[in-house]
Amino acid sequence: MTSLGQKKSSRKKLDQDFINLIDDLFLKLEMSYHYQFYKVFGDDERLKEGKKLWAMSLKRFENHHIRDAILKVVAKNDFLPTLSDFIKCCEEAKLSDFQEPNDDLDENFDRFDLDTLEKLRKKHQI
């Protein structure tokens, strides 16, 4: 039981998890886009202010949406994303929660795999 004005420890842990996630985001951006990253966040003050701005802008998303966006950005972008680009990726990750999974799609499907293609032809009588 907590008294008035006292925060629950679980909320503090969530806040710390979010802070760690923002630190992880910036580490991954630094490792993936090092020259561009240093051009934008080249000194301690700019890095600190950048983290604050990104954290304030991303706090409306669940941590797993931010993690999904990090993976997507690093895998697909050749250049350091802007904050607005990253927010769009978070929004896409959030929307994907509401999409129904498609059982017909196989993540391991190789469109040039002739055995799989033949199975699909038989299944759909093509």
pLDDT at res. 2:
54
Q: Is residue 46 part of a domain?
A: yes
Whole-number Cα distances in Å, 30 to 42, 91, 116: 10, 22, 40
Tell me, yes or no, whether 36 lies in a domain: yes
The pLDDT > 70 percentage for the chain reads 68
Domain count, the chain: 1
Domain of 83, in residue numbers: 11-100
Question: Could you tell me which of 57, 45, 48, 73 has the C-alpha nearest to residue 18?
Answer: 57
Exposed (0-12), middle (13-18) or buried (19+): which is 25, by Cβ within 10 Å?
Answer: buried
In a domain, residue 88? The reply is yes
Residue position matching structure tokens 């886009």: 33
Residue 81 lies in a domain: yes
pLDDT, tens digit, 9 for 90 and up, residues 40-75: 999 999 999 999 999 999 999 999 999 999 999 999
Average pLDDT over the chain reads 83
Q: Report yes or no on 3 lying in a domain.
A: no
- Does any domain span residue 122? no
Report pLDDT digits (tens) over 8-28. 544 545 589 999 999 999 999
